[in-house]
A and B are shown apart, each in its own frame.
Chain A
Amino acid sequence: MRNVKFFGNIPATKSRYGSHYGEKIFEVGRERYREWVPWRSKLSAMIVKGYEVEFSGNEKILYLGAASGTTLSHLADIVDEGMIYAVEYSAKPFKKLLELARNRENIIPILADASKPQEYSGVVEKVDLIYQDLSQRNQVEILEINSKFFLKRRGRMLMMVKAKSIDSTVEPREVFSLVLKEVSEAFEILATGDLEPYHRDHIFVSGVRK
């Protein structure tokens, strides 16, 4: 994967920047890599488990639920010639995200509710990929409305789903099959899988807009 290298079992992203959340830095000759901790990042867990996500490096990305920017920092290393619009609605973790955005030329931070894309519709451009990780009951709905506003035709999406945030009263497997059904209305599903043991009762779903 672009700008990703494994050090033993641990992936790391090639970066010009320092540590963002306490991750290790590996130096290889004159190159620098930031350890990408699978326990902290679902995208890393996915990669450790052998799933590939293709990037050409100049993608425009809309990231929903960026929190303090853990995964975002690595994604920004990967699409080093692209642009990431990072939406997060909680002011607390946003503080750290803002620190990151100040240093990175390819991050545009947006403090807003992702269920109301109207609010940032005059800011975000049409994107190649929507990455969503926001543990919300109505996250599929949120994904769909954002796709309508911003995702290019045949654009991709990658979402992380936590069973407990959708419905904690039924078995994760049931939750996941419902989510997949719902997602497949607007997306052609490309791949899905669990993130054990790094993130329990989570799956990822990737797809292309129909």
Chain B
Amino acid sequence: MRKLSYNLWFGKFEEKVELAEKLKESFKSARNNSPLPFNISDLGMEIFGKDYYKILRKIAIEVAEEKMEKELRSDEKYVIALVKALEELEEIINVLKEKKSDLELVKGTEIQDDFAESISNLERLKEKVEKEIEVVMERIAPNLTEVAGAKIGAKLIEKFGSLEKLAKAPASKIQIIGAERSLYKALARLKKGKEAKMPKHGIIFLHGFVRNLPKNKRGKMARFLAGKISIASKVDFFRGELEEGLHDLVKKRFEELRRK
């Protein structure tokens, strides 16, 4: 039988305590699959005396600070990379679907089943990526996620380059980002003295509250939503805590526009 062994923040316990040389390292790996059958502070106090908590706090703060800095830096990059991957995946899936039906038109063979299998594999992967985007977004931008949805929120961060840039952007820019192509087209037409329609929404058109309204009301909703997204991302960037009620406001406005 294996001897029971426990990982503690100040060392290992196997019949007796083996003190770690580097407390920060042992703190980071103080992982156990089941509850300790003793109270760690009793044991620690036998070793450190009444300084136990003082030392524990010092190490805890150091470890947490390091981890926090690392996560703050990496989470946004991660979500941006995920969004890019998602967009590529969506495209690949569409292309494969097209090719599959092209093939079907010409000649029905077994190769189509292989296409179908690949497509469904990719779709599963796509779902996984979407889930992961949700998890990370909830953590780095809970308000933006609540107001815009994880996917749209992540796309906005990706387009602007960072949460900070999104938080500092004017709402008018948020409203049309992602519609650059139609914006340039419109501007070109205007320059030539022709009439042109300015785009009213870019990425946020993907939001159900915009898309599910009749055409003539979408602009209004897009403007409102962009304003709230701007507030939400500011709260996320500067405070990082969930502000109750932002999403309710957006939903109320949607209901108003729908009824009118």
| Chain A interface main SS type | mixed
Q: Which interface residue of B64, B65, B72, B236 has the most chain A CB atoms within 10 A?
A: B64
How far does the Cβ of A172 sit from chain B's closest Cβ, in whole Å?
A: 13
1/0 per residue, CB under 8 A from B, across A84-123: the answer is: 0000011111111010011001011111000000111111
How far does the Cβ of B149 sit from chain A's closest Cβ, in whole Å?
A: 13
User: Does A91 lie within 8 Å of B57, measured CB to CB?
Assistant: no
Residues of B within 8 A of A26 (CB): none
User: Does B57 lie within 8 Å of A108, measured CB to CB?
Assistant: yes
User: Does B40 lie within 8 Å of A90, measured CB to CB?
Assistant: no
Query: Which residue of chain A has its CB nearest to the CB of B69?
Result: A91
CA distance A118 to B142 in the complex (A): 25
Partner of B31, one of A93, A102, A118: A118
Residues of A within 8 A of B65 (CB): 98
Residues of B within 8 A of A149 (CB): 35
One of B83-91, B100-108, B223-231, B237-245 contacting the partner: B237-245
Interface size on B, residues (CB 8 A): 37
How far does the Cβ of A120 sit from chain B's closest Cβ, in whole Å?
A: 7
One of B3-11, B109-117, B190-198, B214-222 contacting the partner: B3-11
Let me know if A200 is at the binding interface, CB within 8 A. yes
| Chain B interface main SS type | helix
User: Does A91 lie within 8 Å of B71, measured CB to CB?
Assistant: yes
Partner of A93, one of B6, B41, B57, B240: B240
Residues of B within 8 A of A41 (CB): none
Let me know if B173 is at the binding interface, CB within 8 A. no
Residues of B within 8 A of A91 (CB): 67-68, 71-72, 75, 139-140
Let me know if A150 is at the binding interface, CB within 8 A. yes
Which bracket fits the contact residues of A? 35 or more
How far does the Cβ of A145 sit from chain B's closest Cβ, in whole Å?
A: 10
Let me know if A139 is at the binding interface, CB within 8 A. no
In the complex, which residues 128-144 of chain A have their Cβ closer than 8 Å to any Cβ of chain B? Answer: 135
User: Does B139 lie within 8 Å of A135, measured CB to CB?
Assistant: no
Residues of B within 8 A of A90 (CB): 139-140, 142, 240
CA distance A93 to B239 in the complex (A): 6
Query: Which residue of chain A has its CB nearest to the CB of B42?
Result: A125
Given the interface pairs A68-B241, A121-B35, A121-B36, the reply to whether A94 lies near B68 with Cβ below 8 Å is: yes
Residues of B within 8 A of A101 (CB): 57, 60-61, 64
Interchain Cβ contacts under 8 Å between A and B, 16 examples: A90-B139, A90-B140, A90-B142, A92-B240, A92-B241, A94-B64, A98-B61, A98-B64, A98-B65, A109-B61, A111-B67, A118-B32, A121-B36, A122-B9, A125-B41, A126-B41
Q: A105-B53, A109-B60, A121-B32 are in contact. List 20 more A-B contacts (CB 8 A).
A: A68-B239, A68-B241, A90-B139, A90-B142, A91-B139, A91-B140, A92-B72, A92-B240, A94-B64, A96-B240, A108-B57, A120-B30, A121-B30, A121-B35, A122-B9, A122-B36, A123-B60, A126-B39, A199-B244, A200-B244
> What 6 A-B pairs have minimum CB-CB distances, sorted nearest first?
A92-B240, A122-B30, A125-B41, A91-B71, A121-B32, A93-B240
